[in-house]
Amino acid sequence: MNSNRYAKSFVFVFLIILAIAVARWILLVNVQYSYMDGEFPYWMQQKDYVHTKNDKSEVLFMGDSRMKAGIIPERICDNAYNLAVGGGVAIEAYYSLLDYLKYHPKPKIVVMGFAAFHYQDHGEFETRNLYFHYLSSKNQLAAQFVLYKLGQVDFQGLKSKIIDTLKYNLLFPQKYSAACIKSKFKREKNNRTMFQKNADAKGHMYFGLKERDDNLNPETKRKKFYVNARENYYLHKIIDLCQKNEIPLFIEQLPMNTPSWNKINENGFYADYRAYMESVMKETGVPVELEIPCYDVECFGDSSHMNSRGAEKFSSEIKGKYQL
């Protein structure tokens, strides 16, 4: 009798805990805009656009925050769209384009560009992609498995990555409690406003708003360039996807301010990065711009990102280069 009572009590307590966990998950899923940080609406607007059907054949720009800040779609042509995401790398670009093709006609061309250091690592995969649930759970887990496939983690490491991915998807308290407490669930209005602002600008946004910036960018802190195996893997996946679908793909370089450009030339980082870009071009046949543009410090709103002056200049140059 006692054992049956204990068993029933255990099941009852378990069901109560499970019900609380499910209720908490449902609540947090439905109020994400009220506690997520300031980049959340930009990632969600891109996700929403990728998965919304339309019949337009577009000129797509893909990449990271430098591309997102540097390309103003309305300065390019009527059917241009900026699908870059801040902190994004080839992983996000590949799965975004893969999903985009399910809901849209194939683009006229894809122009893609990342900061050089985003071919080296992806520190934002957890803090952006997983944290915001940008990709489906299936694609997130696939990206983690690639680490094991390429020998970057062992089996135990893969298990840890998978568990961490599931914790984000299940909204574990250790991942989201701090944000909930800090936000006091008061970010909804601003996040919704930023979502719409990004949609109206066709994916374009600024990160730095200063009138000039002569500080050194992240590449200058690196002693040398090396390519991360997973980033290289997904870069080639994007190239294969475009070639199989007969989508013209062009790999661009994003401008740097003069002090940063000079620094990476002096320390050899640029030479190593250029050699990698050359190898990609020779191996795949995809047109790759090898020169990183050097802009005056007045074109930058912070050390990495162009301000309105820089974006206008870069957008004009890209429009002319590709005759858009």
Model-wide pTM > 0.85: yes
pLDDT for position 134: 95
Residue 52: CB partners within 8 Å, gap ≥ 6?
103
* Nearest residue to 250 via CA among 46, 62, 86: 62
Q: What is the pLDDT of residues 173-212, one digit of tens each?
A: 889 889 989 999 999 999 999 999 999 999 999 998 999 9
Q: Is 303:213 a contact under the CB 8 Å cutoff?
A: yes
Q: Is 273:33 a contact under the CB 8 Å cutoff?
A: no
Residue 315: CB partners within 8 Å, gap ≥ 6?
70, 71, 72, 75, 76
* Residue spans of the chain under pLDDT 70: 1-29
pLDDT for position 247: 98
Q: Which amino acid is at 50?
A: V
Q: Which amino acid is at 34?
A: S
Q: Helices 155-169 and 173-183 sit at what angle, rounded to 10 degrees?
A: 40
pLDDT for position 296: 98
Q: Is 292:253 a contact under the CB 8 Å cutoff?
A: yes
Tell me the C-alpha to C-alpha distance, in Å, between residue 150 and each of 48, 156, 234: 31, 14, 12
Distance CA 232, CA 235 (A): 5
pLDDT for position 223: 86
% of the chain at pLDDT higher than 70: 91
The burial class, CB within 10 Å (0-12 / 13-18 / 19+), for 246 is: exposed
Distance CA 197, CA 120 (A): 31
Distance CA 21, CA 15 (A): 10
DSSP E strand boundaries for the chain = 59-63, 80-82, 109-113, 249-251, 256-257, 294-295
Write out the two tokens for 100. 């985009």
pLDDT for position 24: 53
pLDDT for position 107: 97
Q: Is 234:154 a contact under the CB 8 Å cutoff?
A: no
What rounded mean pLDDT belongs to the chain?
Answer: 92
List, as one string, the DSSP characters of 205-218. Answer: --S---S------G
pLDDT for position 211: 96
Distance CA 229, CA 292 (A): 22
Residue 149: CB partners within 8 Å, gap ≥ 6?
none
